[in-house]
Amino acid sequence: MTSAPLTLLCLPNAGGSAAMYHRWKRLLPDWLTVLPMELPGRGHLGSQPLVSDYDAMVTQLASDYLALPPGRYALFGHSMGGLLAYGLAQRLSLSVAGRAPCALLVSASAAPTCRNPVVGDLRDGALIAEMRKQGGTPEEAFASEELMQMVLPVMRADYQVCASFQHDARRQPLALPLHVFAGRSDHNTPQQMAAWHHETQASFSLHWFDGGHFYLRDAPQEALLMHTIERLLHTNRIERTGAAIVLAGQEMV
């Protein structure tokens, strides 16, 4: 059975850009339109000033989305992008009638209630050390002073975005399915990833992949992720199913 058309809005990790999702347009089926969302200060928005505050970033993203034609959509975010996708889902669900996403997909991002402290030292050396720890950046990139001069201001602003995030315990959990993806070797613990289930009143699932924080840059794991996203976003897969929780393929109520 063919699924109804759906747009997947994708948000990048700290220091990243919309370009990381361009190849997904070829990997996902025609009924699923991949729409990478660019952040200020990079890509085609390179002339815009960087944003270093979480609420301000979510406000701008919400404005960018509302400028698009209305339609059925889901949100995907990797690392910092997952935190932004969560805030965007909250903003659009609570304040804009009829414009809530049909699902939220979060990758390699600890749950809002149990996030690790963001690195406090934002000088160049500390940021480079953190980038090496996270992985995902080719070692030769660190040897290019010109490239680092471009990347480090973006990383610094993005880390400030993450540091400025504050979880509001008074907010009601989202009324939409929430699917979480994680690398088995990532620094985020299983407990930090599973805690996302507190953020939804609808169905929840947690899916594990081989690899670390950037597991999705490995071709076999990326293919598995694409298959999983396609399956989850199929019309019959995103119906609200109460408070059932799916962890590692086993349903828990």
Percent of the chain with pLDDT over 90: 69
Where in the chain are the domains? 6-252
Q: What is the pTM of this model?
A: 0.89
CATH top class, domain 6-252: alpha beta
Q: Which residue has the higher pLDDT, 36 or 243?
A: 36
- Decide if pLDDT at 49 tops 60: yes
- Decide if pLDDT at 99 tops 90: no
Q: How confident is the prediction for the chain on average, in pLDDT?
A: 88
Task: Give dist(CA 112, CA 116) in Å, integer.
Answer: 10
- The tens digit of pLDDT for each residue in 19-46 reads 999 999 999 999 999 999 999 999 999 9
Exposed / middle / buried, residue 197 (Cβ in 10 Å: 0-12, 13-18, 19+): buried
Enumerate the active-site residues: 79
Q: Which residue has the higher pLDDT, 248 or 80?
A: 80
- Decide if pLDDT at 249 tops 60: no
- The tens digit of pLDDT for each residue in 140-153 reads 888 888 888 888 99
